[in-house]
Amino acid sequence: MLTLKLFIILSPLVTFSKAIRIYPATREGLIWYNSSDPNSYAGYVSEIDDLLNQQNRIMNWSPCMSSSSYSFSSTNTGPCIFFSFPEKLKETPESYNSTTLPANAPDYLHSYIIGLEADRVRKTHNLAYITCNGTSPADEENIGPLHFLRNLEISILPYSALTTFTEDVIAVYFEKPMRYIVINVTCKIWANFKTLEDFEASVVTFDLLID
């Protein structure tokens, strides 16, 4: 069962999505590295550094930090994958709650939102959520526990009505993915999007291979 710890980060240039970008950028849809070979992931780390430096962001989301190479150097765990949502949406989406969240949403997201609603201090009316899962049953078995850093605030997602906006960044920590096998990963932003174009832009797929 996946453990849900909300830390999020949204990730450059993914060929599978019109809007969501993945950092590090995939090579033909694949993130592939050897945790024992710094040369294999140095470019990935540099790319994420550049993303966060451009936005003047200081992330204290252990282990998703530059000082730990965003966990790419760990021989016992998986990496931190970052995401951004740079494209403007056609219309402002609405936040889901425990009664409006679609039935096909992951069980852990249902449980998480119910927990948020039980906590009167934490508000849910302005949040969008990110989930990642293995695309096939075999991928789901191999993906391992995931930790999500932050939620997205709907009010700062880019909309067509806004002339300027701050590109939000979130991250997903892959704690223990299976090594030496390609894992196909599907990540999705959960919000009630108003247009088909925006809905299609909320999903991204990539492959992860760790040697």
What pLDDT, on the 0 to 100 scale, is given for residue 182? Answer: 98
Tokens matching residue 87: 């494209």
**Phi-psi region at 124: left, alpha or beta (left = phi > 0; alpha = psi -120 to 50):** alpha
Q: Which residues touch 23 (CB under 8 Å, ≥6 apart)?
A: 11, 12, 47, 48, 51, 81, 82, 83, 84
> What domains can you pick out in the chain, each with its CATH number?
6-210 (2.60.40.1660)
Taking alpha carbons only, the member of 17, 142, 130, 36 closest to residue 81 is 130
The whole-angstrom separation of Cα 117 and Cα 62 is 26
Nearest Cα residue to 131 out of 142, 140, 121: 140
DSSP helix/strand/coil, 157: coil
**How high is the pLDDT of residue 158?**
56
Q: Write down the pLDDT at residue 88.
A: 67
Helices (H), the chain: 38-54, 107-118, 137-143, 196-200
pLDDT at 2: 42
CA distance 157 to 179: 34
pLDDT for residue 60: 73
pLDDT at 127: 85
pLDDT one digit per residue (tens) for the chain, 211 residues = 444 433 333 333 333 445 678 899 888 889 999 999 999 999 999 999 998 887 666 667 888 999 999 999 999 999 999 988 766 677 788 899 999 999 999 999 999 999 888 876 566 678 888 999 999 999 999 999 999 987 777 766 655 554 444 567 889 999 999 999 999 999 998 989 888 888 888 889 999 999 9
- CA distances in angstroms from 159 to 47, 57, 93, listed in the order given: 26, 22, 9
Residue 3: what pLDDT? 42
